[in-house]
Amino acid sequence: MRRSGSRWRRFRRLVLETYGPVCCFGTACKFGKLAIDLGLPVNHPAGFTVHHLDPLSLGGSLLDLERARPAHRRCNSSQGNRPMALSAWTSHDWPTS
Ligand SMILES: [Zn+2]
């Protein structure tokens, strides 16, 4: 499946609405602040991307909300194809604002 089209855009919005604009990498975040500025250009290193907990190359599903989280572009791309442990972020206190 290609990452384009209305289905993918709707999914990105759904990920944002579900988890908020907060980088899922927590203490491993490259920017030191977890908030993702949604006003940035899509190709900005700190811009919003959808991170897949199960790498797509390893059989992860592109549109699986349960296994997708918001992340900065740079944090997401530096993760590579290593599977990520959920425990890295589940104990984090999410900002409510
Ligand atoms: Zn980050």
Q: What b/e readout covers 62-75, taking b as 16+ CB neighbours within 10 angstroms? A: ebeeeebbbbbbbb
Query: 14 in a domain, yes or no?
Result: yes
Indicate if the pLDDT at residue 65 is higher than 80: yes
Indicate if the pLDDT at residue 9 is higher than 60: yes
Query: 97 in a domain, yes or no?
Result: no
Structure confidence by residue, pLDDT tens digits, 34-62: 999 999 987 899 999 999 998 888 888 89
Model pLDDT, residue 56:
81
For ligand 1, the distance from its centroid to the CA atom of residue 4, given in whole angstroms, is 23
Residue numbers of the domain that contains 61: 5-90
Domain count, the chain: 1
**φ, ψ of residue 92 in degrees (nearest 5):** -75, 140
| Whole-structure pTM value | 0.74
Model pLDDT, residue 91:
42
Q: What is the mean pLDDT of residues 62-69?
A: 94
Query: 81 in a domain, yes or no?
Result: yes
Q: Which tokens sit at 18?
A: 């579900």
- Least reliable range by pLDDT among 45-49, 80-84, 85-89: 85-89
CA-derived radius of gyration, the chain: 13
Model pLDDT, residue 92:
46
For ligand 1, the distance from its centroid to the CA atom of residue 65, given in whole angstroms, is 19
Q: What is the mean pLDDT of residues 14-40?
A: 95
**Are the C-beta atoms of residues 52 and 19 closer than 8 Å to each other?**
no
For ligand 1, the distance from its centroid to the CA atom of residue 75, given in whole angstroms, is 5
